[in-house]
């Protein structure tokens, strides 16, 4: 069955009591379990696209990426061929794919491994060679086409604000490419604060990603970066503890992005406008391979 238009209802907002504070969590993770929450938002325009418009979807990035898995579902639903470029995998993973990679391959993703040193040249060549029937999506879905889906997310947040008669509050979402945070900032009025934290790289990395995406956007999200930069997706005892504590309080989050954002929110809490609305962007299927890493390092 080829899907022409894929629409979904607004996600719920749940009250969440944790570490002595009342928080609110927007459950974008529950909209469609096949897609991690904000990837579904970012792919909104493509989900509405006529399947006949393209034959092939091409992207690149990490071998366990949430964006990769969401694109694999999208291509599967639309009947498009999906080609995904990764840097040469460690042999154990190539021989025995796990987690998001395993799921994406089962959906028919064609995986192409490229040696590290040639990777970005190769990706650029492919990008420039794309014909009319091919859609090329940048790493992590960092793309202007993500705007429409994030606009709808902002509309839902404003509806929640009205039904709770709030004048001001804070919206929090961790950043990979920073696309979600930047477009939320763009669509929400300035009485509402938008805060984020860089999970890939640091403040400078995030600022340059925003600069590339929207060089003219005056108002940017507030960056919370009390905690030092940490290599992406690498285990850290403190992240694990926060993740376990959140889970014990009743909500399962992802192990890569959420722990750092929650740590930053706890530290900055007294300086932030309350209440705080956390956008749960899913990614929990990626926990499988993250937990393996924690075990391997003896942290779990």
Q: SS3 for 246-260, per residue?
A: HHHCCCCCCCCCHHH
Residue 196, both tokens: 């984020």
What is the nearest approach in angstroms of ligand PLP to the Cβ of residue 30?
A: 13
Residue 289 is a binding residue for ligand PLP (CB under 6 A): no
Size of the site for ligand PLP (CB under 6 A): 18
CB neighbours of residue 68 within 10 Å: 27
What is the nearest approach in angstroms of ligand PLP to the Cβ of residue 167?
A: 27
| Window of 18-26, 100-108, 177-185, 214-222 that interacts with ligand PLP by CB under 6 A | 177-185
| Window of 82-90, 171-179, 216-224, 238-246 that interacts with ligand PLP by CB under 6 A | 171-179
With CA atoms as reference, report the closest residue to 257 among 222, 288, 282.
282
Beta pairing partners, 13 = 26
- The whole-angstrom separation of Cα 10 and Cα 91 is 42
What is the nearest approach in angstroms of ligand PLP to the Cβ of residue 7?
A: 21
Element at 263 (helix H, strand E): helix 258-268
Residue 64 is a binding residue for ligand PLP (CB under 6 A): no
Q: State which residue, 178 or 201, has the beta carbon closest to ligand PLP.
A: 178
With CA atoms as reference, report the closest residue to 69 among 27, 115, 19, 111.
111
Residue 99 is a binding residue for ligand PLP (CB under 6 A): no
| Window of 78-86, 123-131, 154-162, 279-287 that interacts with ligand PLP by CB under 6 A | 279-287
* Distances from the Cα of 13 to the Cα of 25, 134, 222, angstroms: 5, 37, 22
Residue 254 is a binding residue for ligand PLP (CB under 6 A): yes
Q: Which residue is nearest to ligand PLP (CB)?
A: 283
- The whole-angstrom separation of Cα 298 and Cα 224 is 30
| Window of 75-83, 105-113, 179-187, 231-239 that interacts with ligand PLP by CB under 6 A | 179-187
Residue 178 is a binding residue for ligand PLP (CB under 6 A): yes
Q: State which residue, 235 or 283, has the beta carbon closest to ligand PLP.
A: 283
- Ranges within 132-161 binding ligand PLP (CB under 6 A): 140
- The whole-angstrom separation of Cα 146 and Cα 40 is 9
Q: State which residue, 55 or 227, has the beta carbon closest to ligand PLP.
A: 227
- The whole-angstrom separation of Cα 259 and Cα 239 is 5
Residue 38 is a binding residue for ligand PLP (CB under 6 A): yes
Q: State which residue, 53 or 247, has the beta carbon closest to ligand PLP.
A: 247
Q: State which residue, 69 or 92, has the beta carbon closest to ligand PLP.
A: 69
Q: State which residue, 163 or 177, has the beta carbon closest to ligand PLP.
A: 177
Read out DSSP for 44-113? HHHHTS-GGG-SEEEEE--TT-HHHHHHHHHHHHHT-EEEEEEE---HHHHHS--HHHHHHHHTTPEEEE
Residue 66 is a binding residue for ligand PLP (CB under 6 A): yes
| Window of 13-21, 130-138, 168-176, 267-275 that interacts with ligand PLP by CB under 6 A | 168-176
**Percent helix, strand and coil across the chain, each to the nearest 5:** 45, 15, 40
Cα-Cα-Cα-Cα dihedral sign, residues 32, 140, 284, 98: positive
**Which residues are at the interface with ligand PLP (CB under 6 A)?**
36, 38, 66-67, 140, 174-181, 254, 257, 281-283
């Amino acid at each position: 069955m080829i899907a022409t238009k894929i629409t979904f209802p607004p996600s719920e907002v749940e009250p969440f009591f944790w570490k002595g504070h009342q928080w609110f969590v927007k459950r974008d993770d529950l909209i469609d379990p096949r897609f991690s929450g904000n990837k579904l938002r970012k792919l909104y325009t493509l989900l509405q696209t006529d399947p006949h418009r393209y034959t092939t979807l091409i992207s690149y990035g990490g071998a366990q990426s949430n964006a990769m898995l969401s694109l694999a579902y999208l291509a599967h639903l639309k009947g498009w061929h999906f080609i995904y470029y990764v840097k040469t995998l460690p042999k154990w993973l190539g021989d025995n794919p796990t987690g998001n990679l395993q799921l994406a391959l089962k959906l028919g993703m064609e995986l192409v491994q490229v040696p590290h040193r040639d990777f970005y040249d190769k990706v650029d060549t492919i990008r420039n060679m794309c014909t009319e029937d091919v859609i090329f999506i940048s790493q992590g879905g960092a793309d202007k086409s993500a705007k429409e889906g994030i606009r709808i997310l902002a509309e839902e947040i404003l509806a929640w604000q009205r039904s709770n008669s709030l004048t001001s509050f804070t919206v929090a979402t961790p950043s990979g490419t920073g696309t979600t945070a930047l477009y939320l900032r763009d669509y929400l009025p300035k009485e509402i604060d938008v805060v984020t934290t860089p999970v890939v790289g640091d403040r400078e990395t995030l600022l340059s990603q925003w600069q590339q995406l929207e060089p003219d956007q005056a108002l940017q999200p507030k960056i919370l970066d009390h905690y030092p930069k940490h290599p992406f997706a690498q285990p850290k005892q403190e992240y694990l503890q926060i993740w376990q504590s959140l889970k014990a309080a009743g909500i399962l989050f992802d192990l890569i992005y959420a722990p750092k954002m929650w740590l930053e929110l706890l530290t900055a809490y007294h300086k932030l406008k309350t209440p705080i609305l956390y956008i749960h962007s899913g990614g929990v299927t990626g926990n499988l391979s993250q937990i393996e890493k924690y075990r391997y390092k003896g942290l779990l």
